[in-house]
Structure 1
């Protein structure tokens, strides 16, 4: 252990951590290149080649040049995922608003299904109360 002082171990860990962070950033940039619909095929190929041939410089230039739109695409994707999830829950709970609707069961069946969804955690207690009020009205 005298051959490798503690400070060198910390430096090694720091460099390893930075390398892992850079790999995550590289994968994020590559996925963003393919996800961006405003780029044509040649532009995507150019950015991809730039990031593969000169990886550190390519990723740095991409983040500087397209970082803001990269963040906007992430936010748009998160909103779309949330909307799809909420529509799925509304449809599964049988509440109107997402193309679903209370489908052909009695009020007792609907309440039982809503209680089961609430117990599973698929809907919040507030959503349960709203749906229950609609079923009972």
Structure 2
């Protein structure tokens, strides 16, 4: 066998594997979207799952055509909610109120870890 014949066989194999993985990804995204959609009732969800199990390629195409726009909207809404939750958590954890900072500095002053000058420096930086 020549090099080019092996090369094209390998290229074709990689293309088929890529297409299969892309199909599986689309299938799992659709299944996740089906279960996240609160507008579909249980029977419609079951029907979609049955069609995805027995006629997967056609069902994926039909789902993307029929419900693709709603799928994008639900994904965007979910991303927005996740971002808001993440931002709220970061604000809660990262920022302490000035009174908390002064109380921490006072505790360090009382324990002798910092000097009164350092306490005043911390206090003035927090209040600015």
Residue in 1 that maps onto 2:54: 53
Matched, 1:136 2:112: no
Normalising by structure 1, we get a TM-score of 0.70
Residue in 2 that maps onto 1:105: 100
Normalising by structure 2, we get a TM-score of 0.74
Which structure is higher in RCO with an 8 Å CA cutoff and minimum separation 6?
2
Structure 1, residues 35-60: CA drift from partner, whole Å, max 9, x if none? 10110000100111111110101111
d(CA) in 1 for partners of 2:6 and 2:88?
57
Structure 2 unmatched runs, 5+: 106-125
What's the secondary structure of 1:74's corresponding residue?
Answer: helix
d(CA) in 1 for partners of 2:52 and 2:31?
8
Residue in 2 that maps onto 1:15: 16
Note closer, same or farther for the CA distance 1:76–1:109 as it changes in structure 2 (3 Å cut).
same
Q: CA deviation at 1:21?
A: 0.5
Q: CA deviation at 1:108?
A: 6.8
Structure 1, residues 74-94: CA drift from partner, whole Å, max 9, x if none? 100000000001111111134
What's the secondary structure of 1:5's corresponding residue?
Answer: helix
> Which protein is richer in helix relative to its size?
2
Q: CA deviation at 1:71?
A: 0.5
CA contact (8 A) 2:52 2:59 kept: yes
Residue in 1 that maps onto 2:31: 30
Structure 1 unmatched runs, 5+: 96-101, 111-134
